[in-house]
Structure 1
Amino acid sequence: MNRSKQKVSKRYFLFFRRIGFLFVLGLIHTFYAPPGINDVLTVYAVLGLFMAMFFKLNKWSNFIVTMMLIALSIITAFCQPYYGERIEWLTILSDLSKWFSLMMLGFTMGQFKFFENIYGKLKYVSMFLLVIICTYVILLFVRTSIDITPGGFENLEDYIVSSMMFSILIIILQWDRAKVLLSPIKFYGQMSLTNYLAQSALLIVFSYIISIVPINSLIMCFIIHAVLIAFSTVWLKFYNMGPVELILRCFTYWSIVPNQKMKKPFVAS
């Protein structure tokens, strides 16, 4: 029993240490991020503290909490006045519940083991995608027919569009050729923390080179992400994780984590 309690307390300790490090990274990012770029790491870290309350709940309880948060974010957005200034506390409540619902959604999907044998769930994903598309079409029709609070529609649209993109990506990845074409994005995702911090730094550099107008901003976006994808692909050929991910891992477990990939021994034929 004591060992079990020690394991649980250690798990929470590691989680809070990880969250604390991400919060500090977010503060650092806030100082050098270009104007208009809002940091998400600090928000993620603060909301992550509340995630600990749901670790011991079963998956169905967390699923209900997630659905309630999604509903809360949409309802509070719809409660905003159509004309005039928005109500500040409703905006904050809507945004916080939206961000927290997405975090809870990822955690709950992990509890349901959704990502295990995900390609075996193609039938259910296709059915879900069909329902989402129909819902989106109906929503667009309703919006053109009656006045809908912009904030409420935007929140609802965010959930629907992100669900559509996620489902389409799963279906596309059924084909081997698609997996090959999208493999660089996989490396980009494995170094998401490094790339998130690096893109702000690159944005500062490129803003001095290219004048910021809409078309140039689009070009700059493609260049920055192309550079980061290439960097991630090359880096992960030699190392197991990105540099910032390595620092985070070392700080979380308070130990040196080997990162360089072991060379495969040459076997003569």
Structure 2
Amino acid sequence: MKKTITNNRIDELDYIRGFALMGIILVNILSLLDIKIPEPNSVDANYQRFLYFFVEGRFYSIFSFLFGVGFYLFITRANAKGRNGYVLFLRRVVAMLAFGILHSLYHPGEALMVYAIVGFILLPFYKVNRHINLAISVILLIMFAILGIKIALTLPLILLGLTCGQYQVFENLKEKTKQLVLFTAFMFLLSGVGLYIQYLNTPDQPFQAMILYSEEGAVDQVSKFLQIGVTNGPIISAFYIGFLLLLLQSKMVQTILSPLKYYGRMAFTNYIGQTVFILLAGQLFHFTANLTYIQTLYVCIAIYALQMIFSVVWLRFFKMGPLEWIWRIITYWQAVPLRKNTT
């Protein structure tokens, strides 16, 4: 299998990471601050529906997929430099697991531990034929999506990301515009069908943000609505990725969205930072169990602004984010320069 790959950073992946982070915080804040159930027929009720149609499960899927792409790129580039990519990757996921355990003390629903565990499981698949990996990932993705098991989707999504790395999907995107248009259009149609089915099962009343089972019709209705949302997740995520990649074909769009690229380049720091900012805001402003759904959006917008400004300024002087730097030291077991050479 051909494994020639550039060592240059793929900017499109950073844009997508930044985009994924923007969606993830919109849902995470709901559990971190224990937001109250909206009043029926209110702005908050409409925003809740928006989140569960277009955000919940969509951006987590993108983030999981990107971990798989990064998984492949990391090992391939390390091996190309004469290093043992497998050993380095194992150190990398052990460090991620440690960060995840610490993060879970404050954010029980965090993703890093899951990614680390799946990384251990999928490491042997790096050497498996890409066609076999594609078949396995798609079959498992369809199966778990139909069953509506969100956490189980992580494994096939990461494997699919690894497989896309094997196929070099994100290299030379300018030469793949036609295929990208067809892919995005197809995913748009599938997303429309899935959202329509989910719409037909929309609960009559606002709900607690979890899947429950009982003999009460209202609870069962919520469960079905949320499970359909899980099923739709990877499809809508694929449309989001395709559409963003098409937009990024334009230099003007790249310039306008450039803060998103820097936000994504520091994805590890910003992901942990989101939790820190949310919990600090909750303590300082007594937000816990006191915010409405729409007010969580305002908090998230403020965090976007702070983190994007920080990311742009930080990366002007430093090579990587602060947590990325610590992660890199643990991975390579040696000190690496953080500050850019300005001479």
Q: Which residue of 1 aligns with 2:341?
A: 262
Specify the alignment match of 2:104 in structure 1.
30
Change (3 A) 1:215 1:154: closer
1:189 is paired with a residue of what secondary structure?
A: helix
- Contact 1:73–1:155 (Cα < 8 Å) also in 2: no
Provide the rounded CA distance (Å) in 2 between the counterparts of 1:177 and 1:245.
Answer: 29
The number of residue pairs the alignment matches comes to 239
> Corresponding residue for 1:168?
243
Q: What's 2:113 paired with? A: 42
Q: What is the alpha-carbon distance in structure 2 between the residues aligned to residue 59 and residue 232 of structure 1? A: 35
Aligned equivalents of 1:150, 1:213: Cα separation in 2? 22
Greater mean alpha carbon deviation, residues 9-18 or residues 139-148:
139-148
Q: Check if 1:124 corresponds to 2:179.
A: yes
- Structure 2 unaligned residues grouped into runs of 5+: 1-78, 202-220
One-letter amino acid of the counterpart of residue 332, structure 2: Y
Q: Judging changes above 3 Å, is the alpha-carbon distance between structure 1 residues 196 and 142 closer, same or farther for their aligned structure 2 residues? A: closer
In structure 1, C-alpha distance between the alignment counterparts of 2:176 and 2:259, rounded to whole Å? 24
Q: TM-score, normalised by structure 2?
A: 0.65
Mapped pair 1:57 → 2:128: yes
**Distance in 2, Cα, partners of 1:118 & 1:241:** 25
Conserved? CA contact 1:72–1:97, under 8 Å: no
> What is the TM-score normalised by the length of structure 1?
0.82
1:211-261 CA distance string (max 9 Å, x none): 322232111101011101110000000011001101111111101111211
Query: Any stretches of 5+ residues in structure 1 without a counterpart?
Result: 1-6, 78-93, 265-269
The answer to whether 1:15 aligns with 2:86 is no
Residues 143 and 254 (structure 1 numbering): CA distance in 2 closer, same or farther, change over 3 Å? Answer: closer
C-alpha deviations, 1:99-128, integer Å up to 9, x for none? 111111211111000111112211111111
Q: Give the superposition deviation at 1:96.
A: 4.0
Q: CA deviation at 1:263?
A: 1.3
Instruction: Provide the rounded CA distance (Å) in 2 between the counterparts of 1:145 and 1:197.
Output: 36
Kindly state the Cα deviation for residue 75 of structure 1 after the two structures are TM-superposed: 3.1
Question: Which structure would you say has the larger Rg?
Answer: 1
Alignment of 1:180-219 (within 5 A): 180-210=255-285, 211=287, 212-219=291-298
Change (3 A) 1:200 1:261: same
Q: Does 2:141 match 1:70?
A: yes
- Work out whether residues 18 and 251 of structure 1, in 8 Å CA contact, stay in contact via their aligned partners in 2: yes
Equivalent residue number for residue 108 of structure 1: 163
* Matched letter for residue 205 of structure 1: L
Moved more, 205-214 or 8-17: 8-17
- Residues 191 and 239 in structure 2, CA contact (< 8 A), matched pair in contact too: no
In the alignment, the residues of structure 2 paired with residue 73 and residue 99 of structure 1 have an alpha-carbon distance, to the nearest angstrom, of: 10
Change over 3 Å in CA distance of 1:45–1:140 after alignment to 2: closer
2:128 counterpart SS class: coil
Taking only aligned residues, the RMSD between alpha carbons, in angstroms, comes to 2.3
Matching residue's letter, 2:189: C
Residue 134 to residue 18, structure 1, CA distance change in 2 (3 Å): same
Q: Given that residues 73 and 97 in structure 1 are in contact (C-alpha distance below 8 angstroms), is that contact kept between their aligned partners in structure 2? A: yes
Tell me how far 1:164 sits from its aligned partner: 1.1
